[in-house]
Amino acid sequence: MFVFRLLLKNAFRHKLRTALTMVGLVVAICAFGLLRTIVDAWHAGVEASSSTRLVTRSNISLTFALPLNYAQRLRAVEGVRQVSWANWFGGVYITERNFFPQFAVDPPSYLALYPEYRLSDEEKLAFFRDRQGALVGRQLAEKFGWKIGDQIPLRGTIYPGTWTFTLRGIWDGADAKTDESQLLMHWNYLNESIRQRFKGRADQVGVYVLGIDEPNNAAQVSQRVDQLFANSLAETLTETEAAFQLSFVAMSEAILTAVQAVSFIIVIIIMAVMANTMTMTARERLAEYATLKALGFSPGFVVRLLFGESLLIAAIGGGAGLALTFPLAAAFRSAAGTLFPIFQVSGLTTALQLLAALVVGAVAAAWPAWRMSRIDIVAGLRHVG
């Protein structure tokens, strides 16, 4: 207890300098946590992917559709237990700033493949019966203040015109990693409208979603599917849902690498600032440490004093930065809207923040502690003048 009080008094002997150092630590640790959370948010879709779902798309590009009649042939593939499909709709709600994913799906088969979308049987039945009905995630509904029965107008970009849907259900995610920022509509309704206006684009789907029995057989099932349609007019590429999500993440891999690099650079900068603070502290107390050694205290005691003071400052500043990360992350998520559907500070990020603060404190004290442990008593006392 005595040692802790001594460390506390030493740490706040120069209140302004200590306060400024702590502010720098708070900013650095908080920024480190937020930047890592942004990186985690980009990979959230991959982590939320199911190991029992495969995605089949055109071998050329996602922009090329696949025939609807592939569904029957896919059901006959060994290892495939369920088949559904979806089209990206790409509508605009009021303004382009209100971006959120919209998919035209086959409701019964699609929802059967996504049990993590939790909604009541009444809402599910209402959606099935209403061809112009829509389902949305809880996060999306709360963002726009939508309620069951509301009309949702979307201005089509891929499919021109104004499309109005009636909200029939709002799903809650099974856990924090479930995406609640999407809107689902009836594929049949979209397809019939396309058949009337653009006959050549009817009976086509963007991707097929396949449910498999055994995750360990994902590679074999994918190979069987792609061999089935090899040398056809619409060859396929089948991959796990995680790999499908990773293909989007890979498009921004350079940006994510830069963000991660910046997060570590921030820690290194505050480490240099902290080291400068501890060096100044040790230089000012040169005579005090020499006196302690003259009184019989070991060099190790001096080292522990410097390390203890540095770690105490780092712990207080790092703890404050960690505590501030959570409300800032919540504010950022609110401001970002559906850009980051899943934006949560993970346990790993929290642990890395605490570790970064302690490493900063330890490294910053290493050099001045080594110097003070080797100080000559006479030279140190003479430093007083």
Nearest to 183 by CA among 313, 312, 92, 47: 92
Residue 128: band (very low, low, confident or very high) from pLDDT cuts 50, 70, 90: very high
**Which residue pairs, CB below 8 angstroms and at least 24 apart, start in 344-352?**
344/37, 344/40, 344/176, 345/33, 345/37, 346/37, 346/40, 349/33, 349/36, 349/37, 349/40, 350/33, 350/322, 350/325, 352/32, 352/33, 352/36
Return the beta strands (E) in the chain as ranges: 53-58, 66-67, 80-88, 102-105, 117-118, 133-137, 151-156, 161-173, 183-186, 204-205, 207-212, 236-240
pTM of the model: 0.72
Angle formed by the axes of helices 2-11 and 299-336, to 10°? Answer: 60
Residue 378: band (very low, low, confident or very high) from pLDDT cuts 50, 70, 90: low
Mean pLDDT across the stretch 110-121? 93
Is a pLDDT exceeding 50 seen at residue 214? yes
**CA 61 to CA 260: how far, in whole Å?**
30
More confident residue, 381 or 268: 268
As a whole-number percent, the residues of the chain with pLDDT over 90 amount to: 34
Mean pLDDT across the stretch 133-160? 92
Dump pLDDT digits (tens) for 255-269. 777 888 888 888 888
Q: Which letter does DSSP use for residue 50 in this model?
A: -
